[in-house]
Homo-oligomer: A and B are copies of this chain.
Amino acid sequence: MLGEKLKELRESKGLLQRQVAAELDVDTAYISKMENNDKPVSKEHLKKISTLLGVPENDLLPLWVGEKVKRVIKNEKFGKQALEIVLKELSNG
């Protein structure tokens, strides 16, 4: 979810991974992994990227947290159910 968004934003700006990589001072492989959700995006990187791609960081943050949540429930049989009960608890309690 986050990676796809980052890629889409980058491409809409006509930028190459190289250019983003240069800005963050990392190599392009790392950028590729971020865009493919193979590596988590650090908060500092997220901030720089949002600036670079001209999107408010707050638009990206829910996706960023979402990605972390997905990592947690990945391979968990009761992931969906877990999300539902947490959400419910957040709503009422």
Contact = CB atoms under 8 A, between A and B. Distances in A.
Interface of A: 1, 58, 61-66, 68-70, 72-73, 76-87, 89-90
Contact of A83 (B58, B61, B90): B90
Contacts of A85: 1, 62-63, 66
Nearest to A77: B61
A36 B25 CA distance: 43
B87 A87 contact: yes
Given A69-B72, A69-B82, A79-B90, 15 more contacts: A1-B86, A1-B89, A61-B76, A61-B78, A62-B85, A63-B85, A65-B79, A65-B81, A66-B82, A66-B85, A66-B89, A69-B69, A69-B73, A73-B86, A83-B86
